[in-house]
Structure 1
Amino acid sequence: MCRWLAYAGVPISMDTLLFQPRNSLIRQSLHAQRSVVSINGDGFGLGWYGDLSRPGLYRDTMPAWSDANLRSLAEQIRSPLYFAHVRASTGTATSRLNCHPFRYGDWLFMHNGQIGGWPQVRQDVEGLIRRDLYRFREGSTDSEAFFFLALGNGLMEDPAGAFARTIAQILGLMRAEGVEEPFRMTAAASDGQRLYAVRWSSDKHSPSLYWTQGHVEGCQDGKLCLDGGGRDSVLVLSEPLDEDPGHWTEVPDASFLVAEGGQVRVEPMAPVT
């Protein structure tokens, strides 16, 4: 399973979260603590919003810990909203096009998990993607297929409803093929203004997901310095960056999260037809 983080708030340099904390995302690429696999070395990616509405992307197939350019970029890029992802493949090829985040227009999307029985349902899932969207599909992952299916289900207008409808559609295809493997996921999406995240699974064993809010003041001795009184920023991520239990709130299973203006709302989510 992959590890990811999404930040939204006052602009900060990416290395504040990617490299500096004791359990930074780059460390998680080698030693994940809350994942079924500890090493996430099948590529990585960054997506960020800057002066343009269309977000920037930097993705590569190298393990995040071995990319000589990544630290320099992370030190220099300051953004009010960015995604970062380290990948552990669940069977699809290690290629740049399969690295997260994925981009469509001004939207970013990244994912952790797996659609059970993907080789059995892949053709049917892809067949549900709207024709005008499918031509933008570049890779072979179930994650990217989920993104484009969700776009066709109204992600840009109704993110919560789009996630719920997309999950329901895929569950229907899995049942039709007699798939017994679970469907487990966490995912994040953004239009550059709001941050959305979901945690869901068909067997109640969802991948881990946490959030925190406050003013990020940097790191000291590997611990995130977070001013909880200045609630201008939100961080959503696969696992905590340090051991301070006061920093992190677990997202409940079967939940949809919305972050905007430093505020967080978490609500139940169930698949709908």
Structure 2
Amino acid sequence: MCRWLAYSGEPLVPAEVILNTEHSLVAQSLNSPLGKETVNGDGFGFGWYPTGTPGANPALFHSTEPAWNDENLRELTSTIESPLFFSHVRAAAGPPIQQSNCHPFRYENWLFMHNGYLKDFHKVKRDLTFAVDPSLYPRIMGTTDSEALFHLALTLGLVDDPVDAMAKAIRMVEEVGHDHGIDFPMQGTIAISDGATVWAFRYSTQGRSRTLFHSADMGTLQEMYPDIERLRSFGKRARVIVSEPLNDLPGLFLEVPESSVSVLDASGYSTEPFLQS
């Protein structure tokens, strides 16, 4: 459906991972070997937290241009630095190609992006959007199932407990979907951040979720590959979570297990089961 990337660590010029790796996110927008669709050219988004201002709300840049054809993306990601950023390339699966449908989505200091779908969203859209808190409903600017899911999770307490809120939101999606005769209502990988922590979910009702990986410890990688100069440009806390690996180096990327959530903060990764029977 789509491809996405989340970075956290020392302030970094985002182009280093969005543009300059062997299988960068922009490269994946043209050729995604592990994606459901090979080409993800229906717009893109970039969201970043500014360096040196803890607690600040993130900035956003969305475009309906293919990521590989947008000079503004190259200018922006080659100029700024950020300690935490999200980027997403879109393969539209129904909702129109417009800026308001590009990920990531933002609420105050929170960012959200999704690769996947709520199956037969047109059948469940009314029930799910009517479950969104009235104070949040006007903030839904686009027409995607992903944005509706984000606001449903906000309604169910995402700001206080992202893991519990996402579990409640997905269970509601499944219950409503089953009520409408949909066998496998939920599919996807999801990234959420408050500017300090990243939560990355891999879950589908069918148990066959889209791919998701996280990088290994950077210090370990620098010891494993002392001759690769590029690795020395990253700080010890540099981590990425990605839809598919950014290069082919053995040991650099580890698969996030099915039905789990990987939490990335200043201490590194921790992974726990998510909505397992």
Q: TM-score, normalised by structure 2?
A: 0.92
The residue that corresponds to 1:31 in the other structure is 31
SS of aligned partner of 2:12: strand
- How much does 1:181 deviate? 4.6
Aligned length: 267
Aligned-residue identity in percent: 40
Pairing 1:66–2:73 present: no
Say which SS state the counterpart of residue 16 (structure 2) adopts: helix
Alignment deviations for residues 172-199 of structure 1 (CA, whole Å, 9 cap, x no partner): 0001000135521101011101111100
User: SS where residue 125 of structure 1 aligns?
Assistant: helix
CA distance in 2, matches of 1:114, 1:226: 35
CA–CA separation in structure 2 for the residues paired with 1:182 and 1:135 = 25
> What does 1:81-160 align with in structure 2 at a 5 Å threshold?
81-160=84-163
Retained in 1: the 8 A contact 2:173–2:185?
A: no
Deviation at 1:245, TM superposition (A): 2.4
2:25 counterpart letter in structure 1: L
Match of 1:265 among 264, 267, 270: 270
Per mean C-alpha deviation after superposition, the further-off stretch among 2-11 and 65-74 is 65-74
8 Å Cα contact 1:197-1:256 kept in structure 2: yes
CA–CA separation in structure 2 for the residues paired with 1:136 and 1:187: 20
Structure 2 SS opposite 1:135: helix
Whether 1:237 aligns to 2:232 is no
Give, in whole Å, the separation in 1 of the partners of 2:201 and 2:37: 21
Q: Is the 8 A contact 1:44 1:100 kept in 2?
A: yes
CA contact (8 A) 1:21 1:241 kept: yes
Give me the whole-angstrom Cα distance separating, in 2, the residues matched to 1:224 and 1:19.
17
Paired with 1:65 and 1:85, the residues of 2 have a C-alpha distance of 12
The one-character-per-residue Cα deviations of 1:116-164 (angstroms, maximum 9, x if unpaired) are 1111011111011111111111000000001000011111111110111
Give 2:191's aligned residue: 188
Q: Quick one: distance in 2 between partners of 1:231 and 1:70?
A: 26
Q: Which moved more, 1:177-186 or 1:156-165?
A: 177-186
Distance in structure 1 (CA, Å) of the matches to 2:24 and 2:251: 17
Aligned counterpart, 1:214 = 218
- Specify the code of the residue in structure 2 equivalent to 1:214: M
Q: What's the secondary structure of 1:131's corresponding residue? A: coil
Structure number having the greater strand percentage:
1
Contact preservation (8 Å) 1:234, 1:262? no
Deviation of 1:226 after TM superposition, in Å, equals: 3.6
- Cα distance, 1:271 vs structure 2: 7.0
Q: Matched residues in 1 for 2:113 and 2:205: separation?
A: 19
Paired AA for residue 118 in structure 2:
I
The residue type paired with residue 218 of structure 2 is G
Structure 2 unaligned blocks of 5 or more: none
SS of residue paired to 1:76: coil
For structure 1, list consecutive stretches of 5 or more residues without a partner in the other structure: none
- On the 8 A contact 1:8/1:262 being kept in 2, the answer is no
Amino acid at match of 1:7: Y
